[in-house]
Amino acid sequence: MIVAILGTATAILLGGHRWFGSSCDILETVPPNEASADVPQGGLRVAEQGFTQPVDEFDSVSLGAMLENPHDRIAYHTQVTLRLLDAQGAEITGFESATDEIPIVMPGQRIGVGMTVSPTRVGDLRVAKFEVETRTSQWLAADALGDDFGQVTAEYRQTVRKDPKVPNSTQIRFVPQSTACRPLWGANPAAVFRDTNGTLIGGTRQYTVVTGACSNFGRETWVIPRKAIPPADDNRTQLYPYCDIR
């Protein structure tokens, strides 16, 4: 560890990443009334989506989608719901909730959504397609989180499949990257999977462990899927950390 005194600010270098003390201007929290009066129309855009069923003996379905923020505002705390539909367009309810929340989507950013849903009884859940619904709590100015905020990305390394028949024996390894001047708050990243043609075929965010995806920037870490993942071209796997400022 190297500690350098820069005037009144202290910089600590850990693993090649610099955390700043008083010089870091990333907010600790966003005030409830810190919303843009110019609320963009249309919300987040669904750029891609796809699914695979079944992915295990329980007839589970792996769902993945890519969302894009086409606006010049930050989408802050966006609830995402995947609505499963049968061939007649009727909604299907699975055992797990098909709702998640993305803390931050910067202007122009694309981010993945992944979920694995099992039927309440084997054979009940036959998905023909799914719809993606988004609802953003606040739209913030592009610089509202501070000049030192940097969105977190993930460099995929490899998928280690120790036993394909045992989901929690698989490791998805990656390196989180960010220019943020302090650790951020968050949990597991979303993973989206693609086939050899690059077509999106599913995703997940359900793991048995919590990683340092929002704090250990520059260091390799991994997640272990709690459920089976679709047979994919591992080199095309993408991970998207869900990080917040608080």
Phi, psi dihedrals of residue 214, rounded to the nearest 5°:
-110, 10
DSSP 3-state percent helix, strand, coil across the chain (nearest 5): 0, 45, 50
**CA–CA gap between residue 97 and residue 114 (Å, rounded):** 12
- Residue that finishes a domain, picked among 87, 117, 141: 141
Helices (H), 162-229: none
Q: In the structure, what pLDDT confidence band is assigned to residue 3 with cuts at 50, 70 and 90? A: very low
Mean pLDDT of 78-84: 95
Q: Whole-model pTM?
A: 0.87
18 pLDDT tier (thresholds 50, 70, 90): very low
Same domain, 123 and 175: no
Q: Report the percentage of the chain scoring pLDDT > 90.
A: 61
Contact 111, 105 (CB under 8 A): yes
The domain of 76 spans 45-141
In tens, the pLDDT along 170-199 reads 999 999 999 999 999 987 899 999 999 999
Range with lowest mean pLDDT among 11-20, 38-47, 142-151: 11-20
Q: Which of 141, 161, 182 is the last residue of a domain?
A: 141
What pLDDT is stored for residue 96 in this prediction?
A: 76
Across the range 75-82, mean pLDDT stands at: 96
Answer yes or no: is 114 within a domain. yes
The residue behind tokens 């606006």 is: 71
